[in-house]
A = this chain, B = another copy of it.
Amino acid sequence: MSIPSATPLPLGFQWSAVKAGIKASGKPDLAIAICPGSATAAAMFTQNQVVAAPVTLGRKHLAITGGKVSAVVVNAGNANCATGEAGLDAALKSCIAVGQQFHCVFDEVFPSSTGIIGVPFPTAKLIAAVPAAAAAMGATPEHAEAFATAILTTDTKLKVAHATFEVDGKTVNLFGCAKGAGMIGPNLGPPHATMLVYLFTDLAACTDHLQAMLATAVGDTFNCISIDGDTSTNDTVLLLASGKSGVAAQGPAVPAFEAALRQVCGSLAYAIVDDGEGVTHVVTLQITGLPTNADALAIAKTIATSPLVKTAWSSADPNWGRLMAAAGRAGIAFDPAATTVTIEGLPVFANGMRDPGYDETALHQRMEQRDYTIAMNFGPGPGHCRFLTCDLTHDYVSINADYST
């Protein structure tokens, strides 16, 4: 996957990426995006109690500037998390160097890091690479792709999405990119990510309005996915609006942008699960009939993090007893006798027992598809959610148990 060269990108932004020597692989690992004259910003961060230094500093910068960002500096290869005061100092020095290079105050620089936790941050390497990043800046799809590539770590695929709409003859563009394949169980809160998502638009909007629209879109997308359930210390979703389209967030532009944002976030969220560590099956859980949406989400998350359920999925095993057992331990009351389960529309469970129409061979065939849906209805309630998750495979264990002294 790459960005087609004809993709219209939002006006007002430039991107670049270079090799700073932070990734052990020697691949590009420093990505910088700039918005000369500054963009309005909205962000959501991890709600983990342990947060990385760039998350702490990014929150602070957005608060100080009232949501103004002129540059985004992202490194991959080191999460700058659990690095103490030295880590905060490293993030600050990185922002100062980027601010000096791009002629903005350092608190208009938004920092992100992803990689290993707890290893001292190589500040000097990052700073030394900033001039080269400045020299490589540009606004073409190739530049955006370089940015989106450098932020990847264990990802195997580029994750980008694009949407566009017109208002009164004027075009608004939204471009987004993401990284993340493991430690994915996002739980993003208002100004609180190692899922990193950057969304760039040329809509004109104030930071409060952007924040409200972002929160809604994230709630239905990034907060409804899980690979391993491990909420990272660094998860960040950042939305920047340059205003250069000449279209303001009012009237018909609002629902049009909301739809575009939902589409781009949904597409990136799917791309993250699809590229999950060791994933061979992407499973959509369609949970309905609970008293509240929160109840539905609690059940979906428990199923999505059950090792027994996820290993059964890896072999296309319609072991629905594991599904019911996981649902039952979510802490949400329901009546098993009033619960129905279907997989790709085929009957599985009803009236407290295996559905009379249960066809194991047919179910196994459907579950051999890479992508399928499990629908579970728990009763007449309005609470529901649509949750994306994946199987647990030998490769997941290999990727995460790979250790050499």
Where the two chains meet, the residues of A that have a C-beta atom closer than 8 Å to any C-beta of B are: 47-51, 79, 81-87, 116-120, 182-183, 185, 187, 228-233, 305-308, 311-312, 314-317, 319-322, 324-330, 332-334, 336-337, 349, 351-354, 360-361, 364, 392-394, 396-398, 400-403, 405
Contact = CB atoms under 8 A, between A and B. Distances in A.
A329 B118 contact: no
A316 B403 contact: yes
Contacts of A361: 405
Contacts of A400: 307-308, 311-312
Contacts of A334: 49
Contacts of A306: 228-230
Copies of this chain present in the complex amount to 2
A325 B401 contact: no
Given A324-B233, A392-B307, A402 B49 contact: no
Contact of A50 (B118, B316, B324, B351): B324
A327 B401 CA distance: 19
B397 A329 contact: no
Give the interface centre of A87, A317, A320, A351 by most chain B CB atoms within 10 Å.
A317
Interface of chain A, main secondary structure: loop
Contact of A328 (B49, B120, B229): B49
A118 B403 contact: no
B117 A50 contact: no
A314 to B, nearest CB: 5
A114 to B, nearest CB: 12
A385 B328 CA distance: 25
Contact of A183 (B81, B87, B187, B325): B325
A232 B320 CA distance: 13
B48 A325 contact: yes
Given A49-B330, A228-B308, 15 more contacts: A49-B332, A49-B333, A50-B327, A51-B328, A79-B321, A84-B337, A86-B353, A117-B324, A228-B307, A233-B321, A305-B305, A307-B396, A312-B401, A315-B401, A360-B405
